[in-house]
């Protein structure tokens, strides 16, 4: 498997690859993962191979830590040449990082998973002539959502089977309710809160309206970032109601989702799937989320959680108040969501991925280095 993003930076793609690799290893498969790594001395997974340090570049409304260049190219080639792989699974092969380099360098059975949903993204449109030959090399394609599938169709005129990101159901079914996060009016937010697209500003703007109906509310914000500038911008009467928890471990995240009265996902866009929503569903959380297409799809357009108009402060506040005050309806929706979360367990998701592997392997040949392995040549020819 090839991970395009920095392994030691938290992210949905990295977690997906890690848990998928561990699932297949537990079932007796030989798995190797190559990824950019900031601190090679900190690598703990015996199956992980470092492709060198990543660089930070803006991508899809966020900052991606990727590796692309002569060092990364050399390490990818060595990794392919020194292993007798039956198949390569490339994540985000359209991103200028390791998966793209691996697709250039290799020939044989290759599966690509597309995690990005951005149908109108100019960067992908401009890079189409360069990327299309790479996408065509893939034996099979997976999209993590219908939105990601639409992006693939619009930019590369090709299709994919939709298989969602997977989650470890046992981690969430075994989560504990922690009293420090479980007050009767506790609101949870989790994410890189300094990124505008995560929507924390929208949630904070809704607090005055929320406080009128829920005067004892407590907002817990989990995730990496510097909270000081945000706290200074919040009216003093609300500061005592807000706690920044910093980055949580995976176990702590599960407990957090199990404990809060309502989990709010106020994201304003740029999401292809919404893995945090499936995790919240599996933990038994009551969910309030913006109605961006990816979230609406996961929540079955409001059947498995409460949707509010994206960016609408009043709509968000009303949704939170209704979820907290209408306990009977909330428990009914939460029960449905918990049942629906089973679809995202690795037993189901990995089985579907394995079926795609079998299709890709039907050619009967393994992975080898391609005869033409100079990725810079195509860029020069298109200058």
Give the model's pLDDT for residue 131: 78
Q: How far is CA 380 from CA 83, 233, 324, 383, in A?
A: 30, 48, 58, 5
61: tokens are 């409304």
pLDDT at 314: 98
* Global pTM exceeds 0.95: no
- Please tell me the predicted confidence (pLDDT) of residue 181: 97
Tell me which of 97-106, 123-132, 181-190 is least confident. 123-132
Name the residue ranges covered by the structural domains of the chain.
12-166+346-381, 169-343
Rounded to whole angstroms, the Cα distance separating 259 from 222 reads: 13
Judge whether residue 351 has pLDDT over 90: yes
pLDDT of 178 reads: 96
Residue 315 pLDDT grade (very low, low, confident, very high; cuts 50, 70, 90): very high
Span 344-360, average pLDDT: 97
Cα–Cα distance list, 188 to 6, 160, 238, 245 (Å): 27, 35, 15, 10
Flag the least confident range among 77-86, 167-176, 210-219, 365-374: 365-374
pLDDT at 380 over 60: no
Q: Smallest Cα–Cα separation from 4: which of 103, 80, 125, 148?
A: 103
- pLDDT score at 208: 96
Q: Per residue in 40-51, pLDDT tens?
A: 888 889 999 999
Instruction: Give the dihedral sign, CA 37/41/44/47.
Output: positive
Determine what percent of the chain is predicted with pLDDT higher than 90.
75
The per-residue pLDDT for 121 is 57
Q: Examine domains 12-166+346-381 and 169-343 and report if their fold is the same.
A: yes
Higher pLDDT, 119 or 331: 331
Q: What is the pLDDT of residue 127?
A: 56
The residue assigned the tokens 């692309």 is 68
Nearest CA among 113, 87, 85 for reference residue 99: 113
- pLDDT tens digit sequence for 49-76: 999 999 887 766 667 789 989 999 999 9
Question: Does residue 261 have a pLDDT over 80?
Answer: yes
> What's the average model confidence in pLDDT over 157-169?
94
- 169-343: CATH homologous superfamily? Glycogen Phosphorylase B; (3.40.50.2000)
Mean pLDDT of the chain: 91
CATH code of the domain occupying 12-166+346-381: 3.40.50.2000
The answer to whether 238 and 221 have CB atoms below 8 angstroms apart is no
Check residue 57 and give its pLDDT.
Answer: 78
Reported as a pLDDT band with limits 50, 70 and 90, residue 122 is low
């Amino acid at each position: 498997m090839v991970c395009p993003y920095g392994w030691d930076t938290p992210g949905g793609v990295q977690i997906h690859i890690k848990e998928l690799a561990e699932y297949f290893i537990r079932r007796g498969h030989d798995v190797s993962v190559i990824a950019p790594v900031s601190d090679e001395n900190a690598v703990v997974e015996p199956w992980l191979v470092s492709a060198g340090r990543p660089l930070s570049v803006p991508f899809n409304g966020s900052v991606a830590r990727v590796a692309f260049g002569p060092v990364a190219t050399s390490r990818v080639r060595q990794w392919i040449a020194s292993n007798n792989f039956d198949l390569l699974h490339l994540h985000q092969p359209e991103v200028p990082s390791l998966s793209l380099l691996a697709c250039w360098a290799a020939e044989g059975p290759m599966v690509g998973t597309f995690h990005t949903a951005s149908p109108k993204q100019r960067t992908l449109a401009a890079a189409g002539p360069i990327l299309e030959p790479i996408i065509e090399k893939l034996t099979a394609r997976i999209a993590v959502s219908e939105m990601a599938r639409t992006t693939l169709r619009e930019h590369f005129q090709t299709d994919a089977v939709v298989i969602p990101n997977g989650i470890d159901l046992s981690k969430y079914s075994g989560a504990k309710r922690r009293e420090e996060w479980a007050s009767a009016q506790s609101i949870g937010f989790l994410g890189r809160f300094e990124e505008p697209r995560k929507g924390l500003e929208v949630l904070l703007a809704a607090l005055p309206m929320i406080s009128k109906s829920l005067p004892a509310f407590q907002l817990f914000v989990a995730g990496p970032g510097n909270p000081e500038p945000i706290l200074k911008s919040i009216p003093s009467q609300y500061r005592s109601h807000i706690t920044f928890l910093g980055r949580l471990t995976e176990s702590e995240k599960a407990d957090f989702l199990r404990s809060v009265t309502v989990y709010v996902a106020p994201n304003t866009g740029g999401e292809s799937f919404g893995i945090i929503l499936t995790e919240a569903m599996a933990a038994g959380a009551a969910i309030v989320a913006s109605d961006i297409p990816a979230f609406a799809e996961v929540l079955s357009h409001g059947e498995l959680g409460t949707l509010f108009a994206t960016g609408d402060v009043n709509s968000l506040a009303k949704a939170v108040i209704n979820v907290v005050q209408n306990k009977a309806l909330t428990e009914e929706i939460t029960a449905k969501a918990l049942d629906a979360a089973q679809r995202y367990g690795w037993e189901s998701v990995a089985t579907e991925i394995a079926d795609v592997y079998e299709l890709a392997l039907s050619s009967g040949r393994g992975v080898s280095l391609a005869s033409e392995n100079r990725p810079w040549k195509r860029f020069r020819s298109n200058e």
